[in-house]
Amino acid sequence: MSWLSNLTPPGIKNMFKRQDSGDSLWVKCGGCGEMIFRRDLEASLQVCPSCNHHMKISVAERLKHLFDGGIYETIALPEPVMDPLRFRDEKKYVDRLKENRKKTGRNDAMEVAAGSIEGLPVIVAVQDFDFMGGSMGMALGEALIKAAEEAVARRRPLVVFTASGGARMQEGILSLMQMPRTTIAVEMLREARLPYVVVHAHPTTGGVTASFAMLGDVHFAEPGALIGFAGPRVIEQTIRETLPEGFQRAEFLLEKGMIDQVVHRKDMRQALSRLLRVLTKTGAVATPARPAIEMERPKAAGGGERAAPVPLDKAAE
Amino acid sequence: MRTYLEFEQPIAELEGRIADLKQMDGVNVSEEVQKLQAKADQLLADTYARLTRWQKTQVARHAARPHFSDYVKYLVEDFTPLAGDRRFGEDAAILGGPARFRGRSIMLIGHEKGSDTASRVKHNFGMASPEGYRKAMRLMDMAERFHLPVVALVDTPGAYPGRGAEERGQAEAIASCTEKCLSLGAPLVSTIVGEGGSGGAVALAAANKVLMLEHAVYSVISPEGCASILWKDAAGKGESKAPEAAEAMKVAAQDLLELGVIDAIVPEPLGGAHRDIPLTVERLGDAVETAIHELEGMSPDELRAHRRRKFLEIGRAGLA
């Protein structure tokens, strides 16, 4: 691009500049390195048209694509205490929170929405990796509990899209406590016999994987998503060897029996709809009773009637 | 031979001098020994009354701290160790089995770190693999079947971050074990007796009652791990900033009681649990017995509801 930008007069350059953001017009694919026109990438749901590499998709884009007509209702989430430990490392946690709120326009790392997928009403929760790496603190725990409660109250399935580096260290033990707390959310769905589907997006690791993300009735994953408990770097340091290509990727987890399907982003709506319609018996019709089939029975001695049971003490004779 | 921690060096010197004096035959040193002993005791009391969170972390990891095998020895009788997850293998990082505890039948489950090089390797330093959690689940199922209270003892740096563990579903095993704790129809009392390391600890600690020994620590990540990420202290493997991370994360039992995460603290003998193991175990036994007693009248559904209420409450009230 540089030679082109140097040659193009400023007026022409501005014509190509996007008005809504400072982002460039072209995006380099993290998979194959190809330059992709940003608008093409948006049309393909942030999936590289040449190599199918799934890039990060914003929460808003995901929800818009997922729901019928791009229409959904945002569920208001509880706001727990901010910075319960008054944590500071090289920066104050409250300042980090403020920055991330400004950057993402949301309060914390999860959004919960209600809408329909191919006519089927569902509750959907999406983790926002852009908000402190999608890390799980009290707000996320409360958000997932709220999502489960909404699903139970409205008798709808819950679909959760995960993307997280794990626990939010700045909330210390209270972030760890979200592992059992989000597990309780899953249990609420189980008791209400409502389907709970987890879609693992890149990356899903740490305490999130080791709690609600691995407890779905069904696990879908996006191609190439990194899914695991420990991060690859930690494992490599522990075992002092390099991990093979594809380790902890969605396809690897499929092979190891931890997820049910690797689903391309463009097929997700259909895959979810097909699954959830069957699980919720939506559109199921009772077929008229078939005429009874004459079953062949072993003929007992003395005619077609069933033989009288032989008393046990006589049976041995 | 007692192992002293770095911050205990002044105590070590005094106690060393006392030991030397006692060795001297024929010389009347009792007065001097008495004086030194009083000084050493005072110093020990002062030091342990003011332990920083990082020092507590070191006490919690002390090599001579009572381990699962000590609890088996002093806490229960008629222990039958059970092995294997019936799916893949046996993981000696988590041990357990039925036992008699002060007249009651219970299921005892806990991490074992090992106490010398060979046993540490055998128990993988208390870092469990999926098989360990799956075995714990198997034992909890059995406890429920036979109406036995479950007593869990948590002491782990964390779940094992190894290749095989990942391949066999470490995350799923931890998640399911946590769910098993929460859905268990028998009383579950967990005590953090040493290190409560992250998800590997919580998988055995989603309990009706969660207790901690006085100098035990319980945290979302090790202070070293936290330091290497948040203080970008990777070069020093997080060690130089670990004390700050331990302070910031508030890893001590006293912090957790204040945050409403645990129910009670079990006092340790002066100078830490390792200075008097039978006394430590006895005090733990008293606390566990009280906890079981409170839970014994509850039905399976009441026990589940109790756990759910307790964990949903955490972080919702009393914080400002």
Say yes or no for a CB contact (<8 Å) between B308 and A81: no
Token pair in block for residue B92: 């000696």
Q: Count of CB atoms within 10 A of residue B296's CB? A: 12
| Pair (B267, B187) in one structural domain | yes
Give the CATH number, domain containing residue A181: 3.90.226.10
pLDDT below 50 — which residues of chain A?
1-22, 317
- Asked if A94 reaches chain B (Cβ–Cβ under 8 Å), the answer is no
Q: What is the DSSP letter of A212?
A: G
Q: Quick check: is A311 in a domain?
A: no
Say yes or no for a CB contact (<8 Å) between B249 and A211: no
Which pTM does this prediction carry? Answer: 0.90
Q: Which residues of A touch B161 (CB under 8 A)?
A: 229-230, 234-235, 238
| Pair (A107, A248) in one structural domain | yes
Contact between A221 and A182 under an 8 Å Cβ cutoff? The reply is no
Q: Is A218 helix (H, G, I), strand (E, B) or coil?
A: strand
For residue A92, the enclosing domain spans 57-291
- Asked if A137 reaches chain B (Cβ–Cβ under 8 Å), the answer is no
- Asked if A240 reaches chain B (Cβ–Cβ under 8 Å), the answer is no
Cβ neighbours for B158, distance < 8 A, ≥ 6 positions apart:
B127, B197, B198, B199, B200, B201, B222
| The pLDDT value given to residue A239 | 85
| The pLDDT value given to residue A9 | 47
| The pLDDT value given to residue B58 | 96
Q: Which residues of B touch A135 (CB under 8 A)?
A: none
Cβ neighbours for B20, distance < 8 A, ≥ 6 positions apart:
none
Give the CATH number, domain containing residue B124: 3.90.226.10
Q: How far is CA A261 from CA A205, A254, B292, in A?
A: 18, 7, 44
pLDDT, averaged across chain B? 94
For residue B34, the enclosing domain spans 6-50
Q: Quick check: is B295 in a domain?
A: yes
| Pair (A15, A118) in one structural domain | no
Number of domains in chain B: 2
| Pair (A61, A51) in one structural domain | no
Q: Quick check: is B130 in a domain?
A: yes
**Is it true that the peptide bond before A49 is cis, omega within 30 degrees of 0?**
no
Q: Quick check: is B287 in a domain?
A: yes
What ipTM does this complex have? 0.95
For residues B239 and B225, give the distance between their C-alpha atoms in angstroms, rounded to a whole number: 9
| The pLDDT value given to residue A15 | 46
Q: How far is CA B259 from CA A173, A182, A289, B200, in A?
A: 9, 19, 61, 21
Which of B:170-189 have CB within 8 Å of A? 170-172, 174-176, 178-179, 181-183
Q: Please give the radius of gyration of chain B, using alpha carbons only, rounded to the nearest integer.
A: 21
Q: State CA A61 to chain mean position distance.
A: 14
Number of domains in chain A: 2
Q: Which residues of A touch B312 (CB under 8 A)?
A: 145, 181, 184
**Sign of the C-alpha dihedral computed for residues B158, B206, A135 and A127 taken in this order:** positive
For tokens 């008495």, name the residue: B34
| Pair (B176, B134) in one structural domain | yes
**Sign of the C-alpha dihedral computed for residues B30, B34, B35 and B39 taken in this order:** positive
| The pLDDT value given to residue B41 | 93
Nearest CB partner across the interface for A180, out of B176, B231, B311: B311
pLDDT below 70 — which residues of chain B?
1, 26-27, 233-239, 318-320
Contact between A222 and A263 under an 8 Å Cβ cutoff? The reply is yes
Q: pLDDT tens across B74-129, in order?
A: 999 999 999 999 999 999 999 999 999 999 999 999 999 999 999 999 999 999 99
Q: Count of CB atoms within 10 A of residue B115's CB? A: 16
| The pLDDT value given to residue A307 | 57
- Asked if A175 reaches chain B (Cβ–Cβ under 8 Å), the answer is yes
| Pair (B78, B33) in one structural domain | no
| The pLDDT value given to residue B311 | 97
